[in-house]
Structure 1
Amino acid sequence: MEYLEKKREKQRIKNIRKRKIKKFLTAFFFIIVFFLWGIYFLLQSDLLNLKKIEVQGNIILTTEEIIDTGQLFLNRNIFQYKLIDIEKNLLSHPFIKEVSLQRKLPNRIIVTVREREKYAIIPYMGSYIYIDQDKVVLQVSENYLAEDLILITGVEFQSFNLGDQVDISKEPLLDAAIELIEASKLVTIGELISEINIGQEDYIKLVTFDGIEVLIGNKTDMAYSVLALKEVLTNLYTRNIKSVIVDMRYKGQISIRNRENWEEN
């Protein structure tokens, strides 16, 4: 008898456990269904429709240009947008260097961009190619726009495409020219420079707005050369001397000669 009673008790406990598990699974099932139904309701409702697009960090491009490039449209559910696709669209614009995107529930998307800046102009077959500091082509214009930018001449192109780095035959010389521009801006003589010519093999020719020509070795320390050049130009302008060629091709040597008497070595 005692054995039978223990067996019945075990069976009763077992049944109770089964009922509890069944109730738990039933409740869990209804919670999942309710949760999924709630998500479906939110996705179909206007609550999560895009109502506001905030654009930050833009200086050159307008907010409308960035929104159009990103292919963002109001009154569309924000979860129907794939942020990676928006980023890809935005990075296809030549002037956009970096992008950061955020969804802000219930109805906002924040777009933060870092723009590329025009750094120099390269004339090419009647057109003008605007590049940034990374040698990326930002714009191609048939007209020379009056901007405070230095012309880089003597460039031999292999190819160029908007949004891509230029492909040229003398890339180290272009790198040296960009380094020269950067150094000249740091020592505040960038506004004096009109043109940088990289058509030669061994040196770069710099031309000021006053017509002074400066020859700089392409393998020299540009920061040091520009500091020395600033002092030379200051002395020349103080003495009102302009029609000269300043030869800085050789380390530690600076010679100044009248253009009329110059014979290039």
Structure 2
Amino acid sequence: MSVYGRKERMRIDYGRKRKIDNKALLRLAIFLCIITIMLATTSSFFKIKEVAVEGNSSIPDGEVLKLLSRYMDKNTFMVKPALISEEIKQVLPVEEAKVKLRLPGTIIVRVKEREVMAAIPYLGGFVLIDPACYVVKMQADLDGLRIPIVTGIEITKPEKAKPIIVNKRQDVVEGLKKALKYLLPMRAELSEIHLDNKEGEITFFIYTLDGFQIYLKEKDLEEEKFLLMESVLKDLRERGIDKGQIDLSKGAPVFKAF
């Protein structure tokens, strides 16, 4: 019995010793982690030294670099990609801005630029907008651009990367956004999109470069109507008809030659 008792005590003592060693190792590991984090967050090795821009074509690299210049020499571990992404979208005309960090000190920015869909006259020049009615840029002319001009609305104080603000009737923007979304595939063959406000109802007159006028009411701004528009235009052109009005506000399209 005494021998057995001694062996049991030995096993118990050994177990206690192992538990003590495990706690010591854990404390040591935590200490080393803290030291490593302190070194990483204070070391110049992990400072931001470079910004790489990808996916841009019309937005110069310099605009992104200037915007993010305040992050240079900041510690990589102190930089938050999500905040940088939001900052870029607030200032530059991009739909998306994906930001990643590459150790030891590089910010990688991949953007998806807003696509120019139409132009709105403003102070002798033009405001270029995307299908969501965000301002992409402002310029004096439309040289080299095959996009329609939006008329019948007056915008105020356009700001790049911000939605347009329409004087008096901001609610027309929602209808315009729908129209631009569905007209995007055929923008190069359009000359004008005119909005007319009669007795509180917004109507749309869409003009093609080859002489067609398409009439729609705000309630007609659905995908089916625009698919029908393309089908009717194709049919008329194949039949050698190149001018006239297509009324899509009825149950069936009505064509009237000019």
TM tier, shorter chain?
A: 0.7 to 0.9
**Which runs of structure 2 are paired with 1:29-178 in the superposition (5 Å)?**
29-71=27-69, 73-124=71-122, 126=124, 128-141=126-139, 143-146=140-143, 147-155=145-153, 162-167=160-165, 168-171=170-173, 173-175=175-177, 177-178=179-180
Matched-pair contact (CA < 8 Å) for 1:216–1:225: no
Matched-pair contact (CA < 8 Å) for 2:93–2:160: no
Distance of 2:113 and 2:53 partners within structure 1: 12
Distance of 1:196 and 1:51 partners within structure 2: 47
Provide closer, same or farther for how the CA distance between residues 105 and 157 of structure 1 changes in structure 2, counting only shifts above 3 A.
closer
Q: State the AA in 1 paired with 2:65.
A: I
Q: State the AA in 1 paired with 2:253.
A: G
Distance of 1:176 and 1:40 partners within structure 2: 53
Aligned partner of residue 248 in structure 1, secondary structure? strand
Q: 2:194 aligns with which of 194, 197, 203?
A: 197
Matched-pair contact (CA < 8 Å) for 1:71–1:89: no
1:217 paired to 2:219: no
Structure 1 residue 232: deviation in Å? Answer: 4.0
Moved more, 248-257 or 197-206: 197-206
Aligned to 1:229: 233
Matched-pair contact (CA < 8 Å) for 1:49–1:78: yes
Show structure 1 runs of 5+ residues with no match. Answer: 238-243, 258-265
What RMSD, in angstroms, separates the aligned Cα atoms of the two structures? 3.3
Structure 1 residue 158: deviation in Å? Answer: 8.3
Matched-pair contact (CA < 8 Å) for 1:71–1:86: no
Provide closer, same or farther for how the CA distance between residues 161 and 35 of structure 1 changes in structure 2, counting only shifts above 3 A.
same
Distance of 1:108 and 1:71 partners within structure 2: 12
Distance of 1:254 and 1:136 partners within structure 2: 34
Distance of 2:111 and 2:94 partners within structure 1: 7
Q: State the AA in 2 paired with 1:253.
A: V
Distance of 2:105 and 2:181 partners within structure 1: 45
Structure 1 residue 112: deviation in Å? Answer: 1.3
Aligned to 1:252: 253
Aligned partner of residue 111 in structure 2, secondary structure? strand
Distance of 2:6 and 2:181 partners within structure 1: 91
Aligned residues between the structures: 241
Matched-pair contact (CA < 8 Å) for 1:202–1:217: no
Show structure 2 runs of 5+ residues with no match. Answer: none
Q: State the AA in 1 paired with 2:186.
A: S
Q: State the AA in 2 paired with 1:225.
A: M
Provide closer, same or farther for how the CA distance between residues 169 and 29 of structure 1 changes in structure 2, counting only shifts above 3 A.
closer
Q: Report the TM-score when normalising by structure 1.
A: 0.73
Q: State the AA in 2 paired with 1:30.
A: L
Provide closer, same or farther for how the CA distance between residues 7 and 178 of structure 1 changes in structure 2, counting only shifts above 3 A.
same
Residues 58-84 of structure 1: per-residue CA shift (max 9 Å, x gap): 112122212333456444321110112
Distance of 1:230 and 1:152 partners within structure 2: 23
Matched-pair contact (CA < 8 Å) for 1:179–1:222: no
Aligned to 2:186: 184
Matched-pair contact (CA < 8 Å) for 1:43–1:77: yes
Q: 2:25 aligns with which of 16, 24, 27?
A: 27
Question: Whose Rg is larger?
Answer: 1
Structure 1 residue 120: deviation in Å? Answer: 0.5
Q: Report the TM-score when normalising by structure 2.
A: 0.75
Distance of 1:99 and 1:197 partners within structure 2: 33
Residues 1-43 of structure 1: per-residue CA shift (max 9 Å, x gap): x56x766665554444333333332233223222321232233
Residues 191-231 of structure 1: per-residue CA shift (max 9 Å, x gap): 4x322211255643334557x46142332712222342355
